[in-house]
Structure 1
Amino acid sequence: MDRDQCLALDAEDPLRHLKDEFVLPDDVIYLVGNSLGALPRRTAERVRQTVEDEWGAQLVGGWNHAGWFEQPFTAGDRLAPLIGAGPGQVVAGNTTSIAVFQAVAAALRLRPDRRVIVSDTRNFPTDHYMVQGLAGLLGDYELRELSEEHFGEAAVVLLSEVDYRTGARQDVSSVTAKAHAAGALIVWDVCHSVGAMEVDVSAGDFAVGCTYKYLNAGPGAPAFLYVNPRHQATAENVLTGWYGHAAPFEFETGYRPAEGIRRFGVSTPHVVSFAALEAALDVWERVPMDRVRAKSMALTSLFVDLVGDRLELASPADPAARGSQVSLRHPDGYPVMRALIDRGVHGDFRAPDILRFGFAPLYIGYADVHDAATTLLEVLDKELWREEKYAARLAVT
């Protein structure tokens, strides 16, 4: 497909107007929305309001009059439709790592007769590390690699809907049913799927996710935790911070868990970060997710076709079997990516040899994909990545 054909597709794209909602440099094709989403235009004003009009004018009164105290739950209700959940099922705040710890620990207590945790080593490292730490803390739990034959012994299975390296997508419905049939509970990590496709974790037990990738809530934005309503009366939050107390302002010396999703609160919300999340959700509440997914598959397919067999495809060939990213292998992937970024096409690198390209359908168009693929091929054909300066590793790859 040539560039004129791509421009014609952009002109017909029903999501094309959403690009204007984001701040993007003119000389950059930003294919890192699967790591850190672009800045929504409305965010700066929303954060200014929080800092100046709320904190500046209301001071401590903002907790009551600006809705700060309820932010984890009001934001949770706004996030819920993006993962197939309902009101009172999602709490926002803290980080994905903390949410993983909470979810897995709660699941273990719901299955006290089992001592096996199944975690895919292809999960993002924080998931696996947190489970390793939890198992070590408890002392009598065994951590096993993903295999359906282990489901029958597992208390909990922790999986990512989309693999962060390759973009390979799990069948949430099918795997959840298999885990439940074997008596295990399941925790889904939807960090690399929420905001890029229709997500539905409602049949599962717990789910965790972040908001700084496709959801565009900013660096360090609040994570979220889903707890299925069938577990909310009995699931325990082992991180018994004051925010999950039944009466936090009674200042009791003993812990009493709140009812429902509120018991999974932990600590005081980061109000300024929540302001950025709220601004991002203003955009998402106007976005039809079926169109997002359709465009996602079209963009990734176009990129794969344009790159051809020049690089090994690490992602599934079937667009329905991958998330909104394409991963390619190259033995010198890091300097290749550095050279590409220097030429305005921003992706990222994952060791040992993967170049990752994330396609955020709200602000990436077909002509962007064409230009990115053309630039990549130029970097490879002219071996521009061999410049000495590209060999030095930066702290964040």
Structure 2
Amino acid sequence: MKTSRDLPTGTATVPGRLPADLLAGEFSPNPGYLNTAAHGLLPARAARTLRDAVDDLTVGRIDQVALIDEMETARARCARLVGVAPERVALGSTVAAQVAVVAAALPRGAEVLTVEKEFSSVPTPFLHADDLRLRVVPPDRLADSVGPDTALVAVSAAQSADGRVVDLAAVREAARAHGARTLVDTTQAAGWMEYDASEDDFVVCATYKWLLGPRGASFMVVPADGGGLRPVQAGWFAGADRWESCYGPARELAPTAARFDIAPAYLPWLGTARALEVLEEAGIDAIRAHDLTLAERFRAGLERLGRPAAPESAGSPIVSVPGAGAAVGALARAGVSVAARDGGLRASFHLYTTEADVDLALNALEGVPAGAGG
């Protein structure tokens, strides 16, 4: 049986069409970082912007108007990323809080359909909302499970635990046939997957994974008419004129999705604005080709080691190795950063990952007996 040592020698080159000068200028990761599905790496320009902002905050050079302008830049880039107008994008801090806005708008007794082992931020707000019925089904049965009582289908485009890419076209078709709406979490998809948010009713996304921002920023796409949502988190920042909404109730809210904005977390959005700029320069098509090429290299190496990846991971840059979660500690000691999720070892590959990183992980995994702990 061939092992990872039989693979071509890893180099620092990158497959696909990514601009090498951009990567060299923005990223200098430790070898073996295969954990973007847990947290993406901050580009150099985002880090510089954040350091400058912290220095300004330290000495009192605080220009809130300029900071808000940067948030609007980030809003526009989020909108371009998923193919909608900026007026449809609301800025937040966490996916769960934005999902809760959707949950608050559903009628009492409404059925929400989701899948087993969905990341908690999606189903939990519905579970604890007043008198909603949460129905959980196997991922491969999602589209077939939509029925006349279903009000909303809520699912991640790519699943956190095993990288499974959901057949969103089938889900949408089933939802429309029964008058249901769709909510899609793109946290594990936006940044590598080609995705059109105009195809779904509601879209949520945290920006600290594949979008390479700091933790603390998320966005939500809503229909042009608001989709029946109520601005239950509205404060001064949701006002039609923010600076006139600082005192007393903000009676007139923004006519766009900004009515669902929360008060600004300046630093996360500053970093996100710069990170999204890097993704735009690299190009999502090139990123996807690069990420999937490396994921396939890892899968091929796993086959040679006799530790095949979960079949659900096919077509995704998130690869799960069933039953290998206990090996994460041993890989960490070999300089490889991966995650243990749902009993498996989860590796993920993004624009800064190289063939050498993949081979380092395979060689480290070869030295760990099946079933061995870390």
TM-score, normalization by structure 2: 0.87
Of the candidates 339, 355, 370, which is equivalent to residue 348 of structure 1?
Answer: 339
Aligned to 2:166: 170
Aligned AA (2:320): S
Structure 1: which 5+ residue stretches go unaligned? 391-397
Deviation at 1:252, TM superposition (A): 3.6
1:307-322 alignment runs, 5 A limit: 307-308=302-303, 310-316=306-312, 318-319=314-315
Aligned length: 360
Q: Deviations over 1:26-58 (max 9, x none)?
A: xx3100011111121122320122233477453
Q: Distance in 1 between matches of 2:70 and 2:230?
A: 21
Distance change in 2, residues 1:208/1:11 (3 Å): closer
Q: Is residue 299 of structure 1 aligned with residue 294 of structure 2?
A: yes
1:276 to 271, 277, 281: 271
CA distance, structure 1, for counterparts of residue 53 and residue 147 of structure 2: 47
- 8 Å contact 1:72–1:93 — kept in the other structure? no
- Would the aligned equivalents of 1:196 and 1:214 in 2 still touch at CA under 8 Å? yes
Runs of 4+ in 1 over 6 A off after TM superposition: none
CA contact (8 A) 1:83 1:200 kept: yes
- Measured after TM superposition, the shift of residue 143 of structure 1 is 1.4
Residue 4 of structure 1 and its aligned partner are, at CA, apart by: 4.0
In structure 2, do the counterparts of structure 1 residues 234 and 165 end up closer, same or farther at CA, with 3 Å as the change threshold? closer
Q: How does 1:85-100 map to 2 (within 5 A)?
A: 85-100=84-99
Distance 1:286 1:181, change over 3 A: same
CA contact 1:76–1:90 (8 Å) conserved in 2 = yes
The 10-residue stretch of structure 1 (170-179 or 200-209) with the greater mean CA deviation from structure 2: 170-179
8 Å CA contact 1:76–1:89 kept in 2: the answer is no
Specify the SS of the correspondent of 1:345. coil
| Residue matched to 2:208 | 212
What CA distance in whole angstroms lies between the structure 1 residues aligned with 2:133 and 2:281? Answer: 45
* 5+ long unaligned stretches in structure 2: none
How far off its partner does 1:157 sit? 1.2
Residues 160 and 190 of structure 1 are in contact (CA less than 8 Å); yes or no, is this contact kept in structure 2? yes
Is 1:24 aligned to residue 16 of structure 2? no
d(CA) in 2 for partners of 1:104 and 1:37?
28
Is 1:339 aligned to 2:330, yes or no? yes
How many angstroms does 1:272 deviate by? Answer: 1.6
Equivalent runs, 1:171-250 vs 2, <5 Å = 171-218=167-214, 220-229=215-224, 231-232=225-226, 234-248=228-242, 249-250=244-245
Output the CA distance in 1 between the equivalents of 2:181 and 2:71: 25
Q: How does 1:254-265 map to 2 (within 5 A)?
A: 255-265=251-261
In structure 2, what is the Cα distance between the partners aligned to 1:297 and 1:130?
Answer: 32
Give the TM-score of the pair, scaled to structure 1: 0.83
When residues 37 and 233 of structure 1 are mapped into structure 2, their CA distance, relative to the original with a 3 A threshold, is closer
Is 2:366 aligned against 1:377?
yes
1:124 pairs, out of 112, 116, 119, with 119
Alignment of 1:356-395 (within 5 A): 356-360=346-350, 362-380=351-369, 385-386=372-373, 390=374
Classify the secondary structure of the residue corresponding to 2:145: helix
| Residue of 36, 49, 55 corresponding to 2:39 | 36
Per the TM alignment, residue 72 of structure 1 is displaced from its structure 2 partner at its CA by 4.2
Query: 1:72 and 1:301, CA in 2 relative to 1: closer, same or farther beyond 3 A?
Result: same
CA contact (8 A) 2:17 2:290 kept: no
Q: What is the CA distance between 1:350 and its match in structure 2?
A: 1.2
2:151·2:181 contact (CA, 8 Å) conserved in 1? yes
Quick one: higher RCO (CA 8 Å, sep 6+), 1 or 2?
2
| Structure 1 residue matching 2:90: 3-state secondary structure | strand
1: distance between equivalents of 2:109 and 2:69?
36
Q: What does residue 64 of structure 2 align with?
A: 63
Select the residue among 320, 330, 338 that pairs with 1:327.
320
1:105 is the counterpart of 2:104: yes
Q: Which residue of 2 aligns with 1:145?
A: 136
Specify the SS of the correspondent of 1:275: helix
For residue 152 of structure 1, report the CA deviation from its aligned partner: 2.0
- SS of the aligned residue for 1:39 comes to coil
Going from structure 1 to structure 2, the CA distance change for 1:19 and 1:49 (only over 3 Å counts) comes to: same
- Structure 1 residues 269 and 253: alpha-carbon distance in aligned structure 2, compared to 1, 3 A threshold: closer
Q: Secondary structure at the match of 1:316?
A: helix
How much is the aligned-residue C-alpha RMSD, in angstroms? Answer: 2.5
Residue 235 of structure 1 deviates from its aligned partner by: 3.2
